[in-house]
A and B are shown apart, each in its own frame.
Chain A
């Protein structure tokens, strides 16, 4: 009787093999969040690519600036958040855009606003994490930065090198060859090799795919190998649907043919999407939390404790909360947290008193 033998076998188990399912259930309920930054000069197809990746239509009514307007533009940081749900799993996706980067005549240190932004998110998280009420901490840390390299050059330009080096210890940098439909396969191959060489030569630390486990199946390992061998990815994005080979596909219609975004022989879009979302999203978040953020935090604490010692204040057993040079926003935040703290202190005092009275 197969029913009872199965039942019997079930009885043999303790049952903690359901743990991953328990975790799964809770994660589905909670949902995920992911913050993706895109950086590169105007016109490299950043917005289009993001729309293609996440099937959204951000920047729908965007007004493109003309040259005169762009002369006086500085590097801005803009944020768009979109909620995506698929098969019951919720993803809160935040896209951080960097309009103005590299567009000016003089682009010295144009990455400053970007690194400042990343640091601010770290600092906010550090404050929240060190605070008293940690129930609903919002994680705005940047998990990945797609850096768009124009396809026209012959390798890394000075601004590319400087930018990636400035960001390599703060965020996972994923360089991309943008608008790859203006290159032939042989040119793409050459450019990729060149870029890989130069990234190596200049010691730029871009995001590294972790190695596969030895116990993964062969298909997964093969996929992993192909992924690693095709970096930096050469991508094309599109917001239009075209008909090609009898199917509706995302693509770009040219007189000489149709470029299909999701055709792996046309570009690496599918690889990028696979890596970013389907296989490495979690790792990107882990590296952000475990490396980049921890580095920031460690440095922060060391800076603060060395200042404390310099001022000859009493060394406390528990490190202090960070306070930065406040701007209006931060001032408000500090005031709010102070209030909360005072309230909590009062509440706790009351609780302690009650406990004390109960014990007596």
Chain B
């Protein structure tokens, strides 16, 4: 009996540790869980009747998700007041499930006197924050709090080619403080490329002059990488969009487009309009960021305000908490919220 030949032993130091721990597997675990749970996304569309809100949303998500498309006997008429209505669908793509809720704002800007027409919208946005806050403060709260907060508000600007109108400024000023606004130039097929560029420039000037901050807000850029990407976006908004659900044959391919006597306006052709840019921003690259900004910034702002409003004077509270006893039979039954 003896030592096994060729045996060596040595202490492992930090630098020459071999093998690997495998921590990036945590990302896979997270991915699995989030895929299973699915995602929620709530998008609001605001603008006067006839600006193509319904069509655009349907085009964005390539299905009939707008209220107009899925309400039987939908009547096209201007409602007397601004009434918000939402419709939800679960859409799936490559195994990823998303519960998409589209919130419509019929009546906005359609009246003769549109004063305060933004108030029902402000109220709705805040109501969703309140709902979430209540659930978050609840004693027995749900594992996943249902999220009805508005993650993104697409504001439709008519393609006048001039400036922002007073109603645009009023709306975006107020809502820009509580929700992420993405302004778009609607029905942009009435603008030439030069007119479009000038219009956009004037809009950006107007926004800056009125202190309106639209998404992506500069102060929420997380790092230099984000800033570069977002700066590029900020220099090209608002996107000029055209929407349609009709397909035509162009060069042997089927494309989404609007057919006129002078040509076909291809919706997904970057040379024709900026629909693809909008879709990429909203869905393909910044969807999660929109949700994060809503949760980490807009919602937190609301929460702080509400907590302060409840008039608490903390030093008055003289409660103390004893460390909890072991094996205490007094434990509450919280199985129900699992």
Contacts and interface: CB of A to CB of B under 8 A. Distances in A.
A86 B22 contact: yes
* Interface residue range, chain B: 35 or more
Interface in A300-330: 300-304, 307-308, 316-325
Contact of A243 (B7, B11, B14): B7
Interface stretch (A35-43, A72-80, A179-187, A278-286): A278-286
Nearest to A20: B31
Given A26-B292, A253-B7, A89 B285 contact: no
A333 interface: no
B8 A243 contact: yes
B112 interface: no
A229 interface: no
Given A321-B314, A348-B308, A27 B30 contact: yes
Interface stretch (B32-40, B78-86, B154-162, B231-239): B32-40
Given A13-B93, A16-B93, A298-B332, 9 more contacts: A15-B284, A18-B283, A22-B286, A23-B30, A23-B34, A24-B27, A115-B324, A119-B324, A325-B320
Contacts of B18: 248
A17 interface: yes
A295 B331 contact: yes
14 contacts: A14-B61, A17-B95, A17-B96, A20-B96, A24-B27, A89-B23, A132-B308, A166-B326, A166-B327, A258-B7, A277-B21, A294-B141, A316-B312, A341-B314
A201 interface: no
Given A16-B287, A20-B31, A345 B320 contact: no
Contacts of A19: 39, 96, 98, 287-288
Interface stretch (B47-55, B192-200, B201-209, B298-306): B298-306
B25 interface: yes
Contact of A17 (B17, B21, B25, B94): B94
B321 A18 contact: no
Contacts of B3: 255
Contacts of B25: 277-279, 281
B93 A318 contact: no
A319 B137 contact: yes
B222 interface: yes
A325 B93 CA distance: 53
Contacts of B24: 86-89
B310 interface: yes
B321 A17 contact: no
A230 interface: no
A218 B324 CA distance: 44
A111 B314 contact: no
Interface string B119-152: 0000000000000000001011101000000000
A252 B292 CA distance: 49
A336 interface: no
B280 interface: yes
Contacts, number: 240
A62 interface: no
A219 interface: no
Interface in A262-301: 262, 273-274, 277-283, 286, 290-291, 294-301
A190 interface: no
B9 A241 contact: yes
B98 A16 contact: yes
A89 B24 CA distance: 6
A316 to B, nearest CB: 6
A273 B22 contact: yes
Contact of A302 (B33, B93, B139, B283): B139
Contacts of A84: 21, 23
A8 interface: yes
A320 B312 contact: yes
Given A11-B268, A22-B285, A277-B22, A165 B327 contact: yes
Contacts of A71: none
Contact of B284 (A16, A239, A273): A16
Contacts of B338: 290-291
Interface in A92-142: 109, 111-112, 115-116, 119-120, 123, 132, 134-135
A282 B93 contact: no
B10 A318 contact: no
A91 interface: yes
A114 to B, nearest CB: 10
A165 B292 CA distance: 39
A95 to B, nearest CB: 13
B283 A14 contact: yes
B19 interface: yes
Given A13-B93, A115-B326, A344 B140 contact: no
A152 B42 CA distance: 59
A15 B280 contact: yes
Interface string B309-324: 0101011011111111
B28 to A, nearest CB: 8
